Every structure is written in C-alpha cells, then in structure tokens.
Amino acid sequence: MQKDKEKGVTMEKLVAFAKNRGFIFAGSEIYGGLANSWDLGPLGTQLKKNIKDLWWKIFVEECQDVVGLDANIIMSTKVWEASGHLEGFNDVLIECRECHARYRADEEIPGFAMRKTGPEGSEATTFTYELVEGHKCKNCGAKGKFTTPTKFNTMFKTNLGPVESEESTVYLRPETAQAMFVDFNEVVRTSRKRIPFGIAQIGKAFRNEITPGNFIFRLREFEQMELEYFIAPPKTKEDWEKQFEYWLDQIMKWLERIGVDMERVKPVEISKEDRAHYSERTVDIEFVYPFGQKELYGLAYRTNYDLEAHQKHSGKSMAYKDPETGEEFIPHVIEPSLGVERTLLAVLLSAYTEEDAPTADGKTETRVVLKLPKELAPIKVAVLPLSNKPELRKLSKKILEKLQQHFVTEYDVTQSIGRRYRRQDEIGTPYCVTIDFESLDDKSVTIRDRDTMKQERVKIEELEDVLKEKFK
Ligand code: GAP
C-alpha cells in the first residue's frame, strides 16, 4: 500500500531526505552556508547527469534535425544589448522600511505587474504605487511601509581582465538561448542543416534573483536544457501553431519518460501582457509543488525577434538562403526551455514513495522507495555479498568487476541484508544482486527487484545478459 503518494511528500521531508542520502546539500556549509546555494552530492550528481544525458539523447542524438552547441557563459555585452536583456531583464524590488524584508513586487502584490510601471508621474506608475502602498509586509505586518518599486537588472556583472571599468564590464548569461542565435550562421554553414532544424544546448545560466528559494526551485545559478527550433516564416497562424503543438507534445512525452507525476503537470497559456517581450505565444508547463503550482518549463514562439535583433545590432546578415528555391528569409523560432534543477525537483517529488513492506519476522514496516525510471537511477545495480568471508568476497568482487563494465554499480557489504535492501530502495537502485554461500556451489545469485521486492535465482554466467534485458 502506498502511503505518501496521494498527498505527496512535504518539502521538509524531501530536503532532509536529499541531504541524508547525499543527493543535495547546502553549499559552503562549513562557513555557515551561502544563501540559497545547493551542492549536489554523489547521487545527485549522477542523477542530474542521467537527466541531461537522456535529454541530449532524445532531443539531439536521436533527431536528424537537431544539432548541439556548447557556447561560452560570458558573451560579448553587445549580445545582451541586442537581445534586450540589458534594458529589460528586470525584476521590480520593494523593501519594507520597517524590517528591511525584500520582495519581488510582481510576486508579492496581487495585481502588480511590471508592465504597469511607466515614466515618473504617469498614470501607470501611480496605479502600481497605490497597490504597493496598501500592502502589508508578511514578515513584520507593517502596512504602507514599502519603498517605491525600483527596477533591478537580474544579470550578474563581472569584468573581463584586471581593470574594472565600463569597457571591461561583461555579464554571465541569464539564458543559454542567445548563443544559438548569435552562432546561427556558423551552425548553418558547418552542419549543412536545412530549415526546419534546431540547435540545442545544455549549460549554466545565472540570474541575480531577488527572492531565490524553495530549495532548488529558484536559484541564482542553475542549468538549462534549451532548444531553438528554426522554421521558415509562417504563411499562416497554423504553420507555427503546428510546430508549437508538436514541441508541447514532446515536452509532455519527456515528462512521462522521466517519471514525473503527470497529474501534477499543468500547461498554462500565458496572456499577452505577461509574456516576455519577444514572445508571440507562451505556454508555461507548471507543476504542483508542495509550495504551490509554479513554472517547471516554458515553451515560446519567439518569432524572428532574436535573429532580427542580432542582424540589426551586428550589421551582419542573419538571413537563411533556401538552397532549393533560393529564397532568403530570417527564420522564426519555437523554443522549449527546460530548467535542469526544476526537473530534478519534479523527478524527486514524483519518485519519493512511502509504502508498507513486510519485515523478515512477518511484521509490517514503512519503506521509502525512490521509484525513479530505471534509466535515471543513479546506481543501476547493487552487489551485496551476504558475508565478508574471503571465499564469498572473492566471488562477489569478480561479479562486481564484470557488472561495472556495463552498469553503474555499488558494492555494499555492511549491515544486515534487509537494511542494505532498504538503503538501495531509498536511493532508487532498480536491482540488487545478492551473493550467498549457496552461490559457491550452484554458481547462481539472487536478483531482487526494487519495486516488486520479488527475488529470482539466476546463473552467474547469465547474470549480465539477464540484467541487460531488464534495462532494455
Ligand atoms: N530562454 C528562455 C528562458 O530562459 P525562462 O522562462 O526565463 O525562459 C526557462 O526560463 C526555464 O529555466 C524555466 O522554465 C525554469 O525551468 C528555468 N529557470 C528559470 N529561472 C530559474 C531559476 N532562477 N532557478 C532555477 N531554474 C530556473
């Protein structure tokens, strides 16, 4: 019987679990930590790698019409001028004058939106300010004590070279996407891809968020898996909508494949007022987290905004010439944009399960199982000798050596076998291989299944093939 599945695991429990099992822990902890920075431990690192590898396999390696890119985090400042990030990548900050708690105005105040901020004294500014005026600080309860909303660019600034000056100022990229536009001509020339085709990238992005938090939900340093799919200028609305629906469907299939609880996935159409400046249509793929329904991924029709902007600012043509018709045009773009850490969070929240399990003495206990899809599990096979006696150890090490050439394998000889099974359940290991004294005679071992807890006896010489079959 599953216990925690319906109501879902709480964030408190998940954070403690992730820390205790070495998935995720607070960054710089020995120095008292650094606000909202999280480091991935051994299992978290492997799980995140498996997520990224699978995304790359599905969206790049298995697609003839998508190629990869690995661009710099620091790009020319002109890129951010052209893309509009220098001017417009802003959050609006308000601060309580009583307790100095800081908030993102659009998140904190119902009805507040950045679009309503206008030039000083304009109707729009007054409207926004009135909303702020009447608002109560949720930290100290003070009413009407907020500072005037101020725009705050969320790009991280640094300097290139030893001299700090305006000329040497550069920015850490706030999205990976711009490199796919800036490098578009080179990719077309070298890959010989024809429109429609996509450029994909996985990499770090940085945003100096005013209110990071909710564990790894909103970070200042995170990774994105982005794909810019270039299409010919659509002649009708259906032309781009067809592509848009295709990518929405691909995102849903991806979420199913990585074991995300689909009942908690909610695609939400974003209104014109709330869309990014470049977007003609945006659907946010939201997820019901324990702290509420919030964005997991975004899908946007960016039109030809970005390529046009880079053409204008760089003076270089970003036009694509159709080799068959000779027609020249600036391609339009559909962009599925996926956050890696939010994926990790949704995967963990979906996989974490508590259920009743029988004990060796016929009683019932609660076991925690991380029901990860096998392809994401950080450890695929655990090799568990029943005892550390030399003859059993020798055989077990031989089996380990063979298996670890094909699967990420863990060897564990401490504690009772029951406790070792529970530990592997908790970290999501699909199969345990147990070597007992009988193995020395019958040249067989036991494979135990994480989800069903069923055990089967398998000849050692067939073990590798049997496991390979199970992972197919
Ligand atoms: N290129 C489009 C773009 O960056 P976005 O909606 O700002 O669009 C895309 O970000 C995705 O990146 C989000 O849906 C989310 O998964 C992830 N993301 C954005 N900001 C984040 C943050 N501060 N922390 C963690 N993930 C974030």
Chain centre distance of CA 82: 27
User: Number of helices and strands (H, E) in the chain?
Assistant: 15, 24
The C-alpha atoms of residue 218 and residue 221 are separated, in whole angstroms, by 9
- In whole angstroms, what is the distance from residue 246 CA to residue 254 CA? 12
> Residue 425's closest CA among 435, 437, 410?
410
Q: Which of 199, 210, 222, 278 to mutate to test the pocket of ligand 1 (most atoms within 8 A of CB)?
A: 222
SS3 188: helix
How far is the CA of 400 from the CAs of 187, 200, 258, 351, 432, in angstroms?
Answer: 44, 37, 27, 27, 12
β-partners of residue 284 are 268, 298
Pocket of ligand 1, beta carbon within 6 A: 175, 177, 207, 209, 218-219, 222, 224, 226, 295-298, 335, 337-339, 341-342
Calculate how far, in angstroms, residue 295's C-alpha sits from the geometric centre of ligand 1.
8
* Residue from 337, 343, 345 whose mutation best tests the ligand 1 pocket (most atoms within 8 A of CB): 337
Checking DSSP bridges between strand 265-270 and strand 281-289, what pairing results, if any? antiparallel
22 and 43 Cβ atoms separated by less than 8 Å: yes
Q: Quick check: helix, strand or coil at residue 228?
A: strand
What pLDDT is recorded for position 206? 98
Q: What is the predicted pLDDT for the residue at 119?
A: 55
Domains of the chain, each with CATH number or no CATH? 42-86+155-348 (3.30.930.10), 90-153 (no CATH), 379-470 (3.40.50.800)
Distance of CA 287 from the midpoint of ligand 1 (Å): 14
**Ligand 1 mean position to 358 CA, how many Å?**
43
100 Cβ contact partners less than 8 Å away, ≥ 6 residues apart:
none
3-state helix, strand, coil in the chain (%, to 5): 35, 30, 35
Residues contacting residue 464 through CB under 8 Å, at least 6 positions apart? 402, 403, 406
For helices 340-351 and 42-56, angle between their N-to-C axes, nearest 10 degrees? 110
* Cα–Cα dist 13/7, whole Å: 13
Phi, psi of 233 (to 5 degrees): -55, 125
Q: What is the pLDDT of residues 145-201, one digit of tens each?
A: 998 888 889 999 999 999 999 899 999 999 999 999 999 999 999 999 999 999 999
Condensed to tens digits (0 to 9), the pLDDT of residues 19-55 reads 999 999 999 999 999 989 999 999 999 999 999 999 9
pLDDT, one tens digit per residue, over 354-390 is: 999 988 788 999 999 999 999 999 999 999 999 999 9
Q: Which atom of ligand 1 is nearest to the CA of 285?
A: 14
Find out whether 388 and 333 touch, Cβ atoms under 8 Å.
no
Q: Dihedral sign, CA of 234, 236, 237, 243?
A: negative
Q: 205 C-alpha vs ligand 1 centroid, how far in Å? A: 9
Q: Torsion angle, CA of 207/210/216/217, rounded to 10 degrees?
A: -90
The pLDDT value recorded for residue 1 is 45
Query: Ligand 1 atom closest to Cα of 224?
Result: 12
Per-residue pLDDT of the chain (472 residues; tens, 9 = 90+): 454 444 589 999 999 999 999 999 999 999 999 989 999 999 999 999 999 999 999 999 999 999 999 999 999 999 999 999 998 888 888 899 999 999 888 888 877 765 555 555 555 555 566 778 788 999 999 988 998 888 889 999 999 999 999 899 999 999 999 999 999 999 999 999 999 999 999 999 999 998 889 999 999 999 999 999 999 999 999 999 999 999 999 999 999 999 999 999 999 999 998 898 899 999 999 999 999 999 999 999 999 999 999 999 999 999 999 999 999 999 999 999 999 999 999 999 999 999 999 887 889 999 999 999 999 999 999 999 999 999 999 999 999 999 999 999 999 999 999 999 999 999 999 999 999 999 999 999 999 999 999 999 999 999 999 999 999 9
What pLDDT is recorded for position 90?
84
Residue 193 is predicted with a pLDDT of 95
What pLDDT, on the 0 to 100 scale, is given for residue 367? 95
SS3 string of 401-431?
HHHCCCCCEEECCCCCHHHHHHHHHHCCCCE
d(CA 168, CA 255): 42
Nearest to 247 by CA among 232, 262, 231: 231
pLDDT at 5: 46
Q: Tell me the chain's radius of gyration from C-alpha atoms.
A: 26
How far from chain centre, in Å, is Cα 91? Answer: 22
E strand or H helix at 112: none
